[in-house]
Structure 1
Amino acid sequence: MLKPQTGAAREFELEGIVPWGRRFSEYEAFFALADFRFPGTVLDVVAGPSSFAAEAQARGIKVVAADPLYCYPGEEIERRFELTVEAMRAGMRRAAYRFNWKHYGSEEGIHRLRREALALFLANYEAGKREGRYVTAALPVLPFADGAFGLALVSHLLFLYGDKLDFAFHLAALRELLRVAPEVRVFPLMNLDGLPSSHLPGVMRTLREEGAEVELVEVPFEFQRGATRMLRARRR
């Protein structure tokens, strides 16, 4: 029998939006990218200490990562990660019943991947900042030209933090993402309580009314139980 919902406020005692990075292989699963032909430069929005841009560079894929965190040196980003670790690990242990552990195996497996991502990110960060691979920026206003990217990705921000970011923010953010890229992919679509985001239906409806093509697409990944789809929005 599943434990009754107690709410993320009790299970995940987080202050704000936390720096919790992911690996390239996770992005492939989140966004169904395994057989994807990357269209020019990819924008990774609110990337934090993810290693997607670093690992993409090694594969010959051009990625620009954007995050307000990049106003800090690597040492400060690492310090903020360390401040986050125990709260995240404790939250995952308390909320273990809400997750499908097939992909990661255990909470320890996730922790190991997060440290791998951080190490790869930090090794690439200073040179990447000089080369324009890491840009200090925050939604819902991005410092990029119209159509600067072929694809924009948003991992674990929109919809997940729906209690902190309101409907107006989500709509403005997706409009801005569609300004800088013809296609946007967002994952996951559930909030921190493991429930479908209340913002999603209205965001999809409004974007469609404004002429965008919007759909929910199954992806080969599930960690939050039931979170098996990404949002894909395209300019027409």
Structure 2
Amino acid sequence: MSRSEQSTKLDLERIVFIGRSYREYLDMFSLSVEELKGKKILDCPAGACSFTALGNQLGLDITACDIAYYHAGEDLENKGLKDIVHTMEQLEKVKEKYKWDYFKDIDSLREYRLNALKDCANDMRESSERYIPVTLPTLPFRDGEFDILLSAHFLFTYADRIDYEFHITTLNELLRVSKEEIRIFPLVDLTGERYEHLNIIVKYLESMGCSVEEVKVSYEFQENANSMLRIIKGK
């Protein structure tokens, strides 16, 4: 790891290593396996999600990248187990802000999160080349290297921590490494409010020649987090 990587990577204690399941990804991004076959896919940032692990088992070509991957897999798995315990404790206090139909209760949610972490950790051990450490807004990939790029629970979600300029710089980098399209979920911040600069960002993307649409999806756990942004690159 270079000195610059060492200086920019997050301390492990500041990383929340929790992930969504493969099934959640298909629902969050309104995708089918058939749509993804034959495509090169990037999950950015991927965290402890099992999309890469289970997708590749099904013959898909998925790469995961995240700042967390600078850390050893065993350390991340242990951190993930602690984070799941902490998150479930916090959710008990704010259950009313979530919809309990996708997951019937906190025990069901816990099982999903533990399974996703286990699948991710096992795949990191067996296929470490799929898990690339990155520090956004810079990605170590070639122009147009991926057909489809999926980005969940980062842009827009952490609007209280990452500013508008960072969003634009990151989107430019996601566009650079994408050949066909980008899908971003959700369009709300941690309070459930629509990202305040979303309309400006849509206009910016359209000015870059992209076709942009908000798509309602079947997945909704956090209230109001039920739409994704689909960005089709211009020719």
TM-score (norm 2): 0.89
1:189 touches 1:229 (CA, 8 Å); kept in 2? yes
How far 1:91 sits from its partner (Å)? 2.5
- Distance in 2 (CA, whole Å) between partners of 1:40 and 1:221 is 23
Q: Name the structure 1 match of 2:67.
A: 68
Q: 1:233 to 1:166 in 2, by over 3 A?
A: same
Query: Which 10-residue stretch deviates more, 58-67 or 87-96?
Result: 87-96
How far 1:220 sits from its partner (Å)? 1.2
Q: Name the structure 2 match of 1:161.
A: 158
One-letter code aligned to 1:33: L
Map 1:117-156 → 2, pairs under 5 A:
117-129=116-128, 132-156=129-153
Q: Name the structure 2 match of 1:198.
A: 196
Q: 1:133 to 1:71 in 2, by over 3 A?
A: same
2:66 touches 2:132 (CA, 8 Å); kept in 1? yes
How far 1:192 sits from its partner (Å)? 0.8
1:178 touches 1:234 (CA, 8 Å); kept in 2? no
Helix, strand or coil at the partner of 1:203? helix
Structure 2: segments with no counterpart, 5+ residues: 1-12
How far 1:123 sits from its partner (Å)? 1.1
CA RMSD of aligned residues (A): 1.5
- Distance in 2 (CA, whole Å) between partners of 1:162 and 1:87 is 22
Q: 1:188 to 1:25 in 2, by over 3 A?
A: same
Map 1:158-197 → 2, pairs under 5 A:
158-181=155-178, 182-197=180-195
One-letter code aligned to 1:215: E
The C-alpha deviation readout for 1:131-175, integer Å capped at 9, x for no partner, is x21111132110000110010001111111110111111111111
2:84 touches 2:114 (CA, 8 Å); kept in 1? no
Q: Name the structure 1 match of 2:53.
A: 54
**Identical pairs, percent:** 34
How far 1:16 sits from its partner (Å)? 5.0
Structure 1: segments with no counterpart, 5+ residues: 1-14
1:162 touches 1:199 (CA, 8 Å); kept in 2? no
How far 1:36 sits from its partner (Å)? 4.7
| Aligned equivalent of 1:32, options 30, 33, 37 | 30
- Distance in 1 (CA, whole Å) between partners of 2:122 and 2:218 is 29
1:46 touches 1:138 (CA, 8 Å); kept in 2? no
2:15 touches 2:68 (CA, 8 Å); kept in 1? no
TM-score (norm 1): 0.88
Q: Name the structure 2 match of 1:211.
A: 209
- Distance in 2 (CA, whole Å) between partners of 1:36 and 1:106 is 31
- Distance in 2 (CA, whole Å) between partners of 1:161 and 1:148 is 27
Q: 1:199 to 1:92 in 2, by over 3 A?
A: farther
How far 1:34 sits from its partner (Å)? 2.6
Q: Does 1:95 align with 2:86?
A: no
One-letter code aligned to 1:190: V
How far 1:17 sits from its partner (Å)? 5.2
One-letter code aligned to 1:163: D
Moved over 4 A (4+): none
Q: Name the structure 2 match of 1:116.
A: 115
Q: Name the structure 2 match of 1:7.
A: none
